[in-house]
């Protein structure tokens, strides 16, 4: 974003940090993503349960957000061999590590 020979005082570490922040915001800013992660963290960890607590999200949208969160390694899918087959979602370590940051953000919003 800044030319290599730029004369401004910003250093590469700072720029790298900036890119990380944008990356992080891209990952969690999807319309429902933070909420989905929090719900799964709280044990609302199946598609049908998530639909109950997020009634205005369409099946398609919920499926898409879950898929993206899995791709971004914030959650994993556990397929349980029941009849019918059950799918449980779990937060990865990275997903869990986001929880206190979301709490901080929520507290910050009220300042």
Residues that bind a second copy (CB under 8 A): 1-3, 6, 8-10, 14, 17-18, 20-25, 27-29, 34-35, 38-39, 42-44, 49, 52-56, 93-94, 97-98, 101-111
Q: Which helix (H) or strand (E) holds 101?
A: helix 93-109
CB of 83 to a second copy, least distance (A): 25
Q: Which residue has the tokens 């205005």?
A: 56
CB of 15 to a second copy, least distance (A): 9
Task: Report the SS3 class of residue 75.
Answer: strand
Nearer to a second copy, 55 or 84 (CB): 55
């Amino acid at each position: 974003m800044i030319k290599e020979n730029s004369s401004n005082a910003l250093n590469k570490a700072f720029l790298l940090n900036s890119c990380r922040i944008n990356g992080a915001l891209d990952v969690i800013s999807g319309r429902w993503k933070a909420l989905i992660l929090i719900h799964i963290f709280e044990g609302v960890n199946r598609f049908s349960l998530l639909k109950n607590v997020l009634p205005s999200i369409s099946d398609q949208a919920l499926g898409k957000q879950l898929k993206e969160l899995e791709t971004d390694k914030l959650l994993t899918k556990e397929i349980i061999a029941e009849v019918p087959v059950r799918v449980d979602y779990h937060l990865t370590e990275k997903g869990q590590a986001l929880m206190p940051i979301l709490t901080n953000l929520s507290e910050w919003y009220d300042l």
